[in-house]
Chains A and B, each alone.
Chain A
Amino acid sequence: MKVEPRLHFHMPLQRTPFHARTSAANVLNQWGNWSGYTTALVFEDEAMEYSAIRNAASLYDLCPMVKYRFTGPDAAACLDRLTLRAASRLSVGGVHYTAWCDDAGKFLDDGTLFRLGPEDFRLCCQERHLPWLIDSALGFDVRVREETEEVAALSLQGPCSAVVLQAAGFDVSALKPFRMMSLPFGDGTLLISRTGFTGDLGYELWTTPDQALRLWDHLTVAGRPWGIRPVGSSALNLARIEAGFVITNMDFIAAHQAVREDRTRSPIEMALDWMIDWDKGHFNGRRALLAEREGKTSRWAFVGLDVPGNVPATGAVIYAGKTKEAGFVTAAEWLPTAKRNVALAHIERKYLKSDLWADIYALRELQYARLMLPVTVTERPFFNPARKRATPPGRF
């Protein structure tokens, strides 16, 4: 919802096009600030919301996600140079997870890139980067603009999400993961991509703000037999940790925002170097990353940890041999579906083979109990169901 720009101070946080519905559903009235928008943290019950993501169908308001549009003959070439992966090899109708770095090969952000046409891309991410993107467009025949406010987006996730879409009249049975399709909807069109942030079967739906409430109502009605419910950011965070996904400025600091010199991370240090396309030609940070790879100079490793017990190791410092500081935890949860207590952590590479301990402060009735627990490095994702990949999707 737009306000008179001159009166912005009356409403410091923007409202998304779904606000009329999300505010009605938010019986706990728990809100958080996401990129300048007020968004629900929990609607009614975090456990039920998480359960809807993993066992039924869930609706999540994605509007605050920052969206940029790249259009023009050099759009693919510009994105090839900007990001780690080869945008030019992404087919029209395809989506890939990608990331981008500064000159020093340090992460600026990660996000998803949608190829809407041969010369038309949408880049979705957590942080705002317009100046960097415009600077990166110099020398390319491409137009870069932010379109966050022009798009209303909903994430429909969960094992029943395909069936709900079927019931809503959208046949997505042939849609493969990381592909998208366009359908007429209401007075406009609806773009459905098989993407999401839960590591599960799920879809993201993209339309214009004027169709937002109609879409919400349509899905809510169609999904009722499958227990569809709106979910807040807290439940989603649990699901994304289970899926092993990282969030900029929660799991690493964007290099442009880092104040302390040692806070920046390279894709190699974030275990996302699998994304790097070394053969596509030059891209931002390539020379620095090549030197890091060749010289084996990466200082950090980003890993999943198994933690004993059921106390989340939130914010814990990791020690090597209980004495030397070896790293720290950026996200930790007891995972209801995987039934595991895990953490995402930065560990200094030289300590990776040491015996690692998490120094956990467990709050028990106003008093912290200090737990020094042995942790082990483990594979991510912690949860990786076959239904995520099956095409046609299962009918749950």
Chain B
Amino acid sequence: MTRSIAAAAARRFFRTTTALASIAFLAGPAVAAEEFNALVWCDHTDPALIEPFEKANDVKVNLKEYEGTGAGISILEQSRPGDWDVMVIDAVDVHRVIEMGLLGEMPADALPSADLFPELRMEANNTKDGKTYAVTEKFGYNTISYDKTKVDPKDMEDLTVIWSDKYKGRIALYDYYLPMIGLVQLGLGGKTADLSEADMPAIEEKLAAMKAASKQVSDVVSSQTALATGEVDILVGGGEWITASLAKDKPDLDWVVPKQGAVRWAQSIAVMKDSSKPELALKFVQYILSPEGQARLATSSCYWGMPANMKAGEHLAPEQKLALRWDDQTGYLKNTQLYPVPSAELDQKMQDAWTNMMQQ
């Protein structure tokens, strides 16, 4: 399994390097008739996802990968208008980019919105003043991943286990403050949408307890490695996107949405306002949202996640559906909440709380 993770990391590195090199040499001769540039998350860099679109449309998709909205906005701030045609962004942050005036309107009737899970249409996030600027393409959960042979699965159904001492030293914390603070808020009985500065003292107290009970705070690759190698038995903040791709080689790894709920992540795709190829960009969006594109995106080599389009199920194998817990989605969607969307001031306080937690 370690080999497979290392191989996946190597493949990601190679693909990223290739994508960056492609962008760096945009002025060079192009093999395909057309090219366009997409600012994406790593799941879009899987050739199994991109190549069918490239071949069908005789186009070269230049991909640049980023992680975290802050990094994505930094890239946009340093880019010229027209540098990017398509962007993938955290669904809860779509309005930040709309407010920057960078997203173009997409014709609503050109998108398969009716085929999306109702909870994933997210009009409040993807539209403004009745205009559609983005569409949800993939989602999943920041919850609890664990090795079911090492821990009692019943314990994992209670979110308060993440700050208890029962599994002290056997827990990894996913290093992303937003969903993690959202999880704590749920564990304390609150709602992510209501999270305010008044909640922060209680959250900080629980973060300190979580740090004391954990072995490490780590990024995606390190968390996945730690869980797969047995370095830790529980990953708080994990979910299908950590364990599903490992299901074949590590069937003991599982994930669950506890009774208090979990944080739901969702990623949206949008066309940039200054795209020089808006038709092609929209075509790419339509491909990603098609049942076939959705199935490929859901099982991308970088990380798995639930497709937003309900019809993608027709293109997923039974074992893939099992790893994604396809049949549990109705209950899970009801029992999960979106990331907190903090103001700039609260966001800074949340980051400070997270940094303080790591330095304890």
* Binding between chains A and B: no
- Chain B residues close to A by CB (< 8 Å): none
